[in-house]
Structure 1
Amino acid sequence: MDSGKILGLVDQGDGANVFKISAGTVSGDVSQGSGVDNFQMTGGTIASLTQGDSRDVFVMTGGTIVGGFDDGDIAKMTGGTIGRVNMKLDDNLFDMSGGTILGNLVTGFGDDTIIVSGGTIGGNISVSGGDDRITVTGGVINGEIRASSGNDRFIWNAGGLIKSSILMGDGNDTAFISHLTEDTLSLTPSVDGGLGNDTLTFDNSSSAGAARYIGWESVNLTNNSRFNLAGDFFLGDSSSGTGSFTIDSTSALQVTHGAVRPYTSGQLTTLTNAGVIDMTSASSSAADTLSVYGNYVGRGGQLLLQTVLGDDSSASDKLIVSQGAISGNTQVGISNLGGQGALTLQNGIEVVQAQNGATSSADAFALKNSVSAGAYQYYLFKGGVTAGSENNWYLRSSVIAIAPRAAPPAAPPVIIRPPSAPPVAPAAPIVAADEPPVEPPTAAPVAPADPPSTVPADSPADASPTPAATTPALPAAVAGAAPIPLFRLEVPVYSVVVPAAQTLMLNALGTFHDRQGDQGLLTETGLASAGWGRFYNNDFKKSWSGTVSPSLDGSLEGFQIGNDLFSSEISEGRYQRFGFFVGQTHLRGSVKGFAEGFQGRQAGQTKLDGDNVGLYWTLSDRSGWYVDAVAIATRLDGNSQSDRGVKLETQGHGLTLSLEGGYPVALSDHWSVEPQAQLISQHISLDDQNDGISEVSFDSQNYTTGRLGARLNGRYRVSNTPVEPYLRANVWRTFGGSDTVTYDDVDRIKTQHKASSADVGMGVVAQLSPTVAVYLGADYDANLDSNDLKGISGNVGIRMSW
């Protein structure tokens, strides 16, 4: 039919009928009767369509069916308008990519398939009985999707809007939500699995609103899906009672305050995590929780938490498991939310709580990342130190042993009393006949007192805490002893920086003879009359006492070039001179100290360079005595790095002041001994730095060092060259004071200055010509106190008169 108007109905009768309409109007019903019928509509209008029995075909690209389309079997709609669709009998197929259905789209009985990729449905989509399949990839559905009974399959992929509920009905149904976001899903008030063993799978989708998803026995996040859980996600229905929630290796459950619960209280759910449970991205607080009422199974997944890294009372996101079992393996990632680090003294910071009888395997969790704050390193432990904490998991910055449980109090002695005479019943009171008896008062019942607990509130746990898998070896704690702090590797490395700077500056100073060779060489007068230079080195192992007892196995080398600015003979045989020098010193070393619970732990390396400029004034006498004053300003630059790669820059400056004197006493024509004394003051100031974990600041009290020594000096001529061999010995004493490294203005790690050492050395000074002299020496250093020191140093110099 391509034009005109038919008043009334069109009845094609039984058989294989074909009806085509592109224009015109049929005011009544078009009935195709039994048989394999074919209806094609590209335009025009009919009142309604009934295709009848058999496997009929319907194609509509335009036009209008004012009323209903009934009894079709295979239908394809790309345009036009239908009042309603009611496909009964057979295994129906309705494929809609355009057009409008004003009312409901219904298929009955059989295993039906409905595909909606475009167009608009004003009412519901309903299928009745059978194992039906509904696929939505586009279009708009204003009513509900009702799958009814049967093992139905619903696929919602990449598009389409569903503005009312999805009701899967009875049966073992499956639903796939693919390539969708919460912006689309939020328009659907509920997705209900109904009764049966139902499975809901999110495929590359992001969703939220746990209350939307009802009655599912199995929920799966797959293919990079995300679910934001901010409430209770109930699994199961009134028949099954519970269910399971699974996160695959590509997907994430983002949690603020969420729970996975069974439909029936007391049943156990199962949450399986092969992906990520993330409490860090949806919230900026450390108070989020995920409660699992049942079992938690790790399948190599991650648990990401925010924690305020501090003491035992610190806040943290938390996984809570009630009644069930914690098993498998999960990597716990910790993000510090402003914590400045502190020593944990009890259970630690709780991150996993097992409650109401829940248990945990010993290898259920391990740290994903290094956890440090302030001066401390945190590790993950199963179990605390108090009763009831054995299956919880804690972050702890110390190793602590369980205090021994107190012995139960002794039973009181049994007191045996002698038998007493039986009581005599009192005589009944006499009551007048007209006087009613008086009932004795009845006291109100008193609830019996609760029996005292056999386990005190602070009683110790039954088992010692166990470090999580992959935790490095930790020291064994001693019951009753103080907790062993777990300082991070960087702490001894940073603690040695200021002492290393002091060592560098002290070597750059040296002694008068290290720089000038011998007072007998100082005979020039006038302006810029002489210059000198030297190279020095020192290989040493040195330790300091303090919080972390750092030690440095290092070497340094440096050079100096100086010149007398002015010298004069102020009286016969007595000279004074002023001069300056510049130089560089480089120090490199390996650091050990008290870190991660162990003394002498290899911790890292330090590098320090010092650029120095100095001024000196020397007064010397022909008889051999001298007084030497020196001031050196040093610019310090370098870095320190722990063995795990955490690095801290070093920048600052130092000032060294020295006053030294010596007076030789002749022992023979060739030998003399020269007592010497030197007093040194050093000031070191280093800039505050940040190593990515905490702010690190340095505070150093002034170093005061004294030296007492003696130099045995000979005078000979070898091939007409004046040669002066010498032996020397010194005792060095650095007096009280300390260096303090502070982490985030909270934890203060002190290193003591106090140290005593001695050195012995030998060398020679040779006057090669009236204008050139060379000198060299070597010394061995050793400690005189409990601080270790072993070192070998050398010095080579030259002095030239201009």
Structure 2
Amino acid sequence: MLNHQIESRQCLGMQVPLACAIGLSLLSLAAPAFAGTVSNGANVSVSPGDPVENWSVITGGRLTLLPGSETSQISVVGSASAVSSNGALIRRTSGTGTNAGVQLSEGATAELRSSRIESTNNGVYTVGLPNVPGSTLRLIDSEVSAVRSGIQANGGADVLIDGSRVFASGSSGASFFGVGLASVSADTVITNGSYVGGQVNGIWLMLDATAPGGGAILAKSSVTVDGSTVEGLTGPAILIRAAAGQRLDGKVMLVNGATLRGGNGNIIEVRESPGTGSGHTVADITIDDSRLTGNIFIENASEASLRLTNNAILNGIITGPADTTVVNGASWNLTGDSSIGDLTLGSGGTVKLGDGTAFNTLNVNGDFVGQGGTFVFNTVFGDDSSPSDKVVIAGNSSGTGNIVVNNINGTGAQTGEGIQLISVAGSSDASFVMPGRATAGIYEYLLYKGGVANPNDGAWYLRSTYTGDPCDLNPSLPICAPTDPGTPTDPGTPVTPVDPIDPGGPTAPIPLLRPEPGAYLANQAAAVHMFQQRRHDRGEPAFEHDGAGAWARVGRDQMHTTIAGQVDTRTHTNVLQIGSDLYRWGQGGRGQIGLMLATGEAETQATSRITGYGTRGKVKGDAVGLYGTWVQSAEDSSGLYVDGWLQYGRYDNRVQGNNLPRETYDATTRAASVEAGYGWAFANSDRGIWYLQPQAQVTYTDYKGDTLQEVNGTVVEDDRAGGFESRVGVRLFGHDNASGNRVQPFLAVNWLYTERGDAMRFDGERLDARLPTNRYEAQAGAQLRLGQRWSAWGDLRVQRGDSGYKDAGAQLGLRRAW
């Protein structure tokens, strides 16, 4: 029989509002007649086939349920009393006796293995009474199915749920109905793939037991969910709320892949006690190495601390005064606007403000402390009015942090004030850097502290304009490498200062270009010019009267130019071209037609003069073509010559900027050229002869490149390339009249004119390479006749033009007659 002396022994004259009231309400039920009572240290076993009875275990008794056995409700009282089961069924269906399948009180112990508890009320109930030891429950590989609560743990109980399933199906508004685990001042560990669920809540942490008159806390409610699942079908997975007039310090640990599911979208709710009493809820929540999806709600009058650590991930909204810490590889991914208390963003911690489908605002209603963590923003890279995620700090900011900004379909534009990312109402002492890059269209965006109108506003902006030394903003930029200051020298005698010069008005900010467009334009120019040639690039026509032959040449060019005054490009081009005469005709005047093949490669390094960011471009091309030449005099170099060629080229291109993915695309060229020259002999003597040969050439190139969309969303397409180019020059050359081998040196100067400059579009905005329309070239080299069938040639040339354009090249060629 239940010992009703508990009432007078423990609660007489005490004012314990809830804990004692719950215990007394249970013990004051009509006392059931227990069919079996185990007492005074006795050991009793229940075997399969024994009658299904109620059991009472008291005064050190021990009850053992053997595999296959079945009982009704069981009551265990006293720290020396225990019940254990292995493969048994405990079914509580009547309304009399205990209010649970298993009820524990006064330090009793229950160990239930591979067993099942079915109850129309509570599954397991531990009675909580002041100044009485808490009971112990071990639920291992078992199942609890109840209506009210699966497990209600009171009075400092110690609960282990190991590899088990607990579910409460009740849905009425009564307290604890439909709650998988109701923890009223208990410590619970849920581990090893367990499931705790309820029609309303998975877990409800309710209160701390307090001494009469609101004295010291006797116990705290804590739950550890270790690699297990907690679910509330219609409410939050975990509810933390004190009872009326009580203070609750609830602690929740979610570790090793814990899972929470809340039917109302909230995985955790922290709420104040109902009514107007002095109740208060304080929650301490840790998410460790677990991936959770859902929202966390903290009522404004409550207190909460939330810590994400050890690669934990939270996908959801946090609302309420939660002092939040994100460290050690953890990530909080916002799914909507959120509002918290203080925020500490530690090393390896990340706050992602959204997924780019909407733009969210994180309100930090306290202070921000950066310890090397990272904010990830989603922003439309455009002008000042562009939408963006934002962080609003109501207090102070301190420490250090990183900012990563993702472009959401922005096409780039010039900013003024900039796109605000972070605002700080208090002291703005935090320092942020942007270790990655922010690019769109032709623009590079940099991170700035302070507005243009008010540089001291403490806010952080994204701007596509250059308004100062970028190293002041981000010392990690490539251009900001520290330099050795060298040995200090004697400053000498001080100089009397002069009056300062009025600097005038502020300089207007200039657009900040990224280097990648420079690489695209350099690739375009390299493809257009890679396989262009002149008649003498295939050898000296006067050396070819011996008959048809085959030839080969190798060439290298190095070009340097500046795009829009900001991006330096250096391109190195290597070419191998081979050809063979297919048909020849004529004796005095001679003509020939041939086939040629070519392969080449160009590599470009484009570097921003402002940021130091670099980009590599590469072009690999192949070409096939036909050439034809007619010379008036087949025996010497005098008279008229006419040359022409047709060629088709195909190119594989790539561009890769610093910290950006590689971009690849294809291009083709169709080119044609006509060239003519006339040689006049002068200074003819027995020893040798010199010629002066004016030349003119017109080349047309039709370039077509693929349109591509970069990983950052920028659409890159051709605007114009190739077109007509012309060359007008004069060539001075001569040779001796000795028989046998012949060396024919030459000098040439040329004026090259381009009809139009190369240009491309980036998200519709046109950028011109601004290669000079007029270029000037000097060339020197020699042709060599080596016996009757072999000839060779080589030359060096240098070009110059406006805007710092420089081009230097060299080639070597060899021909053999059949």
The TM-score with structure 2 as length reference comes to 0.72
CA contact (8 A) 1:502 1:682 kept: no
Deviation at 1:714, TM superposition (A): 3.8
Q: Where does residue 618 of structure 1 map in the other structure?
A: 630
Cα shift readout 1:167-219 (whole Å, capped 9, x = no counterpart): 34514332234544343575988444762653122342514233377834312
Structure 1 residues 696 and 633: alpha-carbon distance in aligned structure 2, compared to 1, 3 A threshold: same
**Distance in 1 of aligned mates of 2:759 and 2:522:** 10
Q: Where does residue 411 of structure 1 map in the other structure?
A: none
- Compare 588-597 and 706-715 and name the one that shifted more: 588-597
Q: Note if 1:351 corresponds to 2:421.
A: yes
Q: Where does residue 153 of structure 1 map in the other structure?
A: 221
Q: Note if 1:470 corresponds to 2:470.
A: no
Q: Where does residue 752 of structure 2 map in the other structure?
A: 733
User: What does residue range 544-559 of structure 1 map to in structure 2 within 5 Å?
Assistant: 550-552=568-570, 554-559=572-577
Cα shift readout 1:627-676 (whole Å, capped 9, x = no counterpart): 31312314142435456374544531131312212131433334343231
2:285 is paired with a residue whose SS is strand
**Distance in 2 of aligned mates of 1:781 and 1:129:** 86
The match for 2:365 among 293, 296, 302 is 293
- Compare 385-394 and 83-92 and name the one that shifted more: 83-92
User: What does residue range 181-260 of structure 1 map to in structure 2 within 5 Å?
Assistant: 181-183=259-261, 190-192=269-271, 195=280, 197-203=282-288, 204-211=290-297, 215-230=302-317, 233-235=319-321, 243-260=322-339
1:256 is paired with a residue whose SS is coil
**Distance in 2 of aligned mates of 1:352 and 1:39:** 65
**Distance in 2 of aligned mates of 1:755 and 1:786:** 11
Deviation at 1:124, TM superposition (A): 5.5
- Compare 632-641 and 702-711 and name the one that shifted more: 632-641
CA contact (8 A) 1:516 1:532 kept: no
Structure 1 residues 681 and 115: alpha-carbon distance in aligned structure 2, compared to 1, 3 A threshold: closer
CA contact (8 A) 2:570 2:604 kept: yes
Structure 1 residues 797 and 678: alpha-carbon distance in aligned structure 2, compared to 1, 3 A threshold: farther
Q: Which amino acid aligns with 1:294?
A: G
CA contact (8 A) 1:199 1:218 kept: yes
User: What does residue range 743-762 of structure 1 map to in structure 2 within 5 Å?
Assistant: 743-762=762-781
**Distance in 2 of aligned mates of 1:608 and 1:560:** 17
1:320 is paired with a residue whose SS is strand
Give aligned-pair identity as a percent.
15
1:473 is paired with a residue whose SS is helix
The TM-score with structure 1 as length reference comes to 0.74
Deviation at 1:738, TM superposition (A): 0.6
The match for 1:658 among 674, 678, 703 is 674
Cα shift readout 1:754-800 (whole Å, capped 9, x = no counterpart): 1332324242453734xx36253434435376644363534444363
Q: Which amino acid aligns with 1:67?
A: T
Q: Where does residue 157 of structure 2 map in the other structure?
A: 112
User: What does residue range 271-420 of structure 1 map to in structure 2 within 5 Å?
Assistant: 271-274=344-347, 275-281=349-355, 284-285=357-358, 287-322=359-394, 324-344=395-415, 346-354=416-424, 356-357=425-426, 359-361=428-430, 363=431, 365-387=432-454, 390-401=457-468
Deviation at 1:481, TM superposition (A): 2.5
Deviation at 1:255, TM superposition (A): 0.9
Q: Where does residue 495 of structure 2 map in the other structure?
A: none
Q: Where does residue 72 of structure 1 map in the other structure?
A: 105
Q: Where does residue 172 of structure 1 map in the other structure?
A: 249
Q: Where does residue 798 of structure 1 map in the other structure?
A: 815
Q: Which runs of 5+ in 1 are unaligned?
A: 236-242, 263-268, 403-463
Q: Where does residue 434 of structure 1 map in the other structure?
A: none
**Distance in 2 of aligned mates of 1:584 and 1:107:** 84
**Distance in 2 of aligned mates of 1:222 and 1:21:** 48
The match for 1:493 among 480, 505, 519 is 519
Which structure would you say has the larger Rg? 1
CA contact (8 A) 1:740 1:749 kept: yes
Q: Which amino acid aligns with 1:357?
A: G
Deviation at 1:721, TM superposition (A): 2.6
CA contact (8 A) 1:36 1:54 kept: yes
Deviation at 1:727, TM superposition (A): 3.3
The match for 2:593 among 579, 594, 597 is 579
Deviation at 1:135, TM superposition (A): 4.6
**Distance in 2 of aligned mates of 1:141 and 1:514:** 86
**Distance in 2 of aligned mates of 1:180 and 1:80:** 26
**Distance in 2 of aligned mates of 1:278 and 1:752:** 43
**Distance in 2 of aligned mates of 1:317 and 1:54:** 58
Deviation at 1:245, TM superposition (A): 1.4
**Distance in 1 of aligned mates of 2:804 and 2:701:** 22
**Distance in 2 of aligned mates of 1:504 and 1:139:** 71
Structure 1 residues 505 and 271: alpha-carbon distance in aligned structure 2, compared to 1, 3 A threshold: same
Q: Which runs of 5+ in 2 are unaligned?
A: 2-30, 210-216, 274-279, 482-502
Aligned-residue CA RMSD in angstroms?
A: 4.4
CA contact (8 A) 1:129 1:148 kept: no
Q: Which amino acid aligns with 2:337?
A: G
Deviation at 1:329, TM superposition (A): 3.0
CA contact (8 A) 1:381 1:466 kept: no
2:531 is paired with a residue whose SS is helix
CA contact (8 A) 2:466 2:512 kept: yes
Cα shift readout 1:673-720 (whole Å, capped 9, x = no counterpart): 323121222314031253544333232151322222042424411xx4
The match for 2:186 among 132, 135, 160 is 132
CA contact (8 A) 1:234 1:261 kept: yes
Q: Where does residue 553 of structure 2 map in the other structure?
A: 535
CA contact (8 A) 2:403 2:435 kept: yes
- Compare 70-79 and 383-392 and name the one that shifted more: 70-79
